[in-house]
Structure 1
Amino acid sequence: MKNIQNIKLKPTATIREALAVIDSGAMQIAIVVDDENRLLGTLTDGNIRRGLLSGLSVDGGIKDIYFKTPTVAKMSDTKEEILKVALAKKLHQIPIVNELNCVLGIVEIDELIKPKDKTNRVVLMAGGLGTRLGELTKTTPKPMLHVGNKPILQTIIENFSKYGYTNIIISVNYLSHVIEDYFGDGSTLGVSIEYIHEKERMGTAGALSLMRNLLKEPFFVMNGDLLTNVNFEHLHDFHKSQEAIGTMGVREYDFQVPYGVVNIEDGRISSITEKPTHKFFVSAGIYMLSPKALSLIPDGEFFDMPSLFEKIINEDNKALSFPIHEYWLDIGRINDYEQANSEYYEVF
């Protein structure tokens, strides 16, 4: 949110004064307010040009040319809500007001769209064999299979980069040269990539023991064979605000029993439920961990994420779930791979 002190105008201002304010403010807009700082309207160089073309003098007043019903936002509005309105109405700035309609600042939409670079690292697990995909992974690591027009891993990296997370660590093992040759140092994608080589497969958490010195602040861990459009910034904010040691992205999974379930008490049938559906939460393969979690990981051993979260829980540290309602697909089997290709362009 930008300060508006230097772009304020009173409704009695002249067009000449408005031009000076718009020019000096470098935001291409002026805010018209009353003596109580209540928003009366906005004024752009477009409004001024139309006024001058209609015959007004630069020494004339702005009262007839400023826009008196501007779109505004509240402090409580999320970035997504503001963006949705701005893009729908093709706005470049939106004033922020309080409940009394007093102006608090102004949001520039270009600034909202542009991600702010964050120092938090993203660890991508890309060392698996992908044996369930058969011939597809004989010469290609699963994260490098093309979905849409690019490798799965590239879509993952681009999605993190979209939210400003550009410090990437890729844990590699099987056919690691294919990944390293394709991405290099990441500069072609506008990110920085480092590689950690697992000499033996160490599990989704075990490989983190090889990079302790790199992980000094909360970091993401994600399997390299997932496609999702989850908002990584929301996951980060949730983890940070709750002061968690480990936050696990979870996905609701439904399982329908294909038979009528007979409920029995003391040998007697108490009820029959026809083909009930059971709902569970399962790990989505997306995590955020605080550096403290690294002390719970043994050196040089196979260690997976469920074991790490069990340790976090057993030591009375905070382990939280983050439900993922957005698109999510684990590409583990041939039919998952086919589904991903059929949905890719619609989703991404």
Structure 2
Amino acid sequence: MKTVLLAGGFGSRLSEETVSTPKPMVEVNGKPIILHVMDIYSHWGHQDFIVACGYKAMMMKKFFHDLPFMANDFTIKVGDGAIALRPSRTVDWNVSVVDTGLTTMTGGRLRRLREWIGGETFMVTYSDGVGNIDMEALLAFHRSHGGLATVTAVQPPARFGNLELAGDRVAEFTEKVRKHETWINGGFFVFEPEVLDYLSGDEDVLEQEPLAALARNGELFAYRHTGFWHPMDTVRDRDHLSALCATGEIPWLDLRPAMAPVGAAPVGLTNG
């Protein structure tokens, strides 16, 4: 099963880094965030990736071209340049890197990949968000409801302090906001190939009319993930994720089997 990684945006909210580096290449704990995302899928045996790049596509292509040499040890004969790889990783990823256009939107990038994806069920996610998603449970859920599309619904991380008000009086002040029953789009989609028929051009934003149309037609279902999930939208997010790695326990790789998913229903299409 192929996994599409949406990796072509400008990353304007992380402009401190993305002025010179594509957002998926911004490092978390010394490793590009896109590799952290791929590690999640790889844990569950999904190792066939399509990277849909755009902004600084040449840099992305060069990175993946050089990745076998960066990820493994090798011996090089300086005389003739012959190289013998000495694998030091247990993964065997197959990565297709496709330039889907500089200004193409998320839905348009998927549409351009129709021939790469083929006629089978496939997965899609963003290259800048991580979570300890149970891929086996996600796929089982997708197959159980019979619809064309599944989105992983997550609860947004707390970013601000919380004020509990009683009229004009502050009844309680807490450092972290309490989690209420709010769900947003966390990526980690599962799509049937017919989803591509909902896309018409490069200007299509997946998270707007295409997903809204799928929801109206009763074809979009939500897999509720209550475990760890966090995007990397800002420098603060990057630093937070790096700090979590520094503890020695990477929460998005705490990939024990999940509890059974709760319910199956369309959700709001707020993009995480």
- TM-score, normalising length from structure 1? 0.57
Instruction: Give 1:236 shift.
Output: 1.3
Task: Extract unaligned runs of 5+ from structure 1.
Answer: 1-119, 263-271
Q: Is this contact kept in 1: 2:105–2:202, CA < 8 A? A: no
Structure-2 residue corresponding to 1:240: 143
Q: Is this contact kept in 2: 1:226–1:331, CA < 8 A? A: yes
Instruction: Give 1:259 shift.
Output: 6.0
Q: Is this contact kept in 2: 1:122–1:219, CA < 8 A? A: yes
- The alignment status of 1:135 with 2:16, answered yes or no, reads yes
Structure-1 residue corresponding to 2:79: none
Q: Is this contact kept in 2: 1:184–1:193, CA < 8 A? A: no
Aligned partners of 2:161 and 2:19: how far apart in 1?
35
2:121 pairs, out of 218, 221, 242, with 218
Equivalent AA in structure 2 for residue 206 of structure 1: G
Two-structure CA RMSD over aligned residues (Å)? 2.6
Aligned partners of 2:63 and 2:27: how far apart in 1?
13
Residues 101-130 of structure 1, C-alpha deviations (whole Å, 9 max, x = no match)? xxxxxxxxxxxxxxxxxxx11000111112
Aligned partners of 1:311 and 1:158: how far apart in 2?
32
Shift >3 Å, 4+ stretches: 185-189, 253-259, 272-279
- The alignment status of 1:289 with 2:191, answered yes or no, reads yes
SS in 2 for 1:279: coil
Aligned residues: 219
Residues 220-274 of structure 1, C-alpha deviations (whole Å, 9 max, x = no match)? 1111001222112221121012212111111124798736366xxxxxxxxx996
Instruction: Give 1:191 shift.
Output: 1.0
Structure-2 residue corresponding to 1:229: 132
Structure-2 residue corresponding to 1:336: 237
Bigger Cα Rg: 1
SS in 2 for 1:233: helix
Q: Which has the higher strand share?
A: 1
Aligned partners of 1:335 and 1:231: how far apart in 2?
26
Structure-1 residue corresponding to 2:225: 324
Structure-2 residue corresponding to 1:113: none
- TM-score, normalising length from structure 2? 0.72
Aligned partners of 1:246 and 1:273: how far apart in 2?
43
SS in 1 for 2:200: coil
SS in 2 for 1:195: strand
Structure-1 residue corresponding to 2:259: none
CA separation of 1:122/1:169 partners in 2, compared to 1, >3 Å: closer, same or farther? same
Structure-2 residue corresponding to 1:268: none
Equivalent AA in structure 1 for residue 126 of structure 2: N
Task: Extract unaligned runs of 5+ from structure 2.
Answer: 72-90, 254-272
Q: Is this contact kept in 1: 2:8–2:102, CA < 8 A? A: no
